[in-house]
Amino acid sequence: MSNTFTVSVITTKIPHHSFHSGYEQLIKYLPESTEIKFVKRGHATNGLSRLIEVGLRFFTTSRWYQWDGVIADLFSAKILSRKKSIVHYLYGDSSVGLIPYVNGYLPGKLILSIHACPTDFNEVIQFPHLLKNVDGLILLGSNQKEYFESLLIDSPKLHVIPHGVNIEFFTPVATKPENEYLNVLLVGNWRRNFELYGTVIEACESEKMIFHVVTQSFNHHHFRGFRNVKLYSTISDDCLKELYQFSDVLFMALTDAVANNVLLEAAACGLPIICEDIGAVRDYFSDEEIAYFEPNAASQVIDLLKQANKNRTDLFIKRDKALLRVQEYAWQQIAKKTFQFYESVINA
């Protein structure tokens, strides 16, 4: 990819993501000339810096602004003062602070990727009108678009580009044994419908099913006392991949969703998926590719799991179609679409 403009990316590492997961994987597939600014997510570590951070937060675009946002603001101002330059915040909704105030006076172009669910926008975004000063917004799901259109942001500035997945790491195995028990995998910490998980697990205690739950230890209390649950936390990347590869079905209960690492990674590993029909999950996979259930429909989930335990053919058919579909979300493809958006913003 040759370019006549410079690209600088501001990113961070989400602690609970594996080394091969997360939106920051995008930078590996952008042009080698891309300048990367890794900023550690977190609050200031000394008193004076903490006072600066707290004081600035009264004026920042994002309510979730922390010390990494201060560093990002300073870096952005320097880069955006140059002509033919782009600054892309990979986690724009949580980190963007003061730079939208001055962006219109600088020759460079500012792009933000937006991850938050629409139900969280009022909590995350403090001054929505400042987003009109941004040159481009990358949305990860179509369900985010209505909010930004309501702000009267120019349509060309809004572009939906899906989240990607590392299909070189997350891969299916050639063969796997058919287990006597149905191994049901649950993965994730954020925006999970833990109440529904508990209802379904309890109802399936007499069935030949084992629920393997990968979540941070602070969520383990939702699953204690169930005989049919195995709990995991802070596991290695290879262990996570093996759970995707050798489980029989992924069960995803969600309270809302835009992009979801777990859905993409499971599909890339050839794991059949049963998912709550909510948010933007249908942007990524259709009914032909994964089995959906209505929100909070415990009985529907239980029936799907029992059916899968008796005959896994239907889920396997969907799995094969999802495995084909997920190739569209390879980071190489997402990087191409992102770079094309850069070009459109520069030429706007």
Q: What's the pLDDT tens digit per position in 158-216? A: 999 999 999 999 999 988 887 889 999 999 998 999 999 999 999 999 999 999 999 99
Residue 3's pLDDT is 56
pLDDT tens figures, 218-249: 999 999 999 999 999 989 999 999 999 999 99
Cβ density class 191-200: b for 16+ within 10 Å, e for less: bbbbebbbbb
For residue 1, pLDDT beyond 70: no
For residue 2, pLDDT beyond 70: no
Sign of the C-alpha dihedral computed for residues 69, 75, 81 and 84 taken in this order: negative
> What's the mean per-residue pLDDT of the chain?
94
Q: Write down the pTM of the prediction.
A: 0.93
Average pLDDT (98-110) is: 96
Domains of the chain, start order: 6-164+330-346 (3.40.50.2000), 182-328 (3.40.50.2000)
Token representation of residue 278? 């909510």
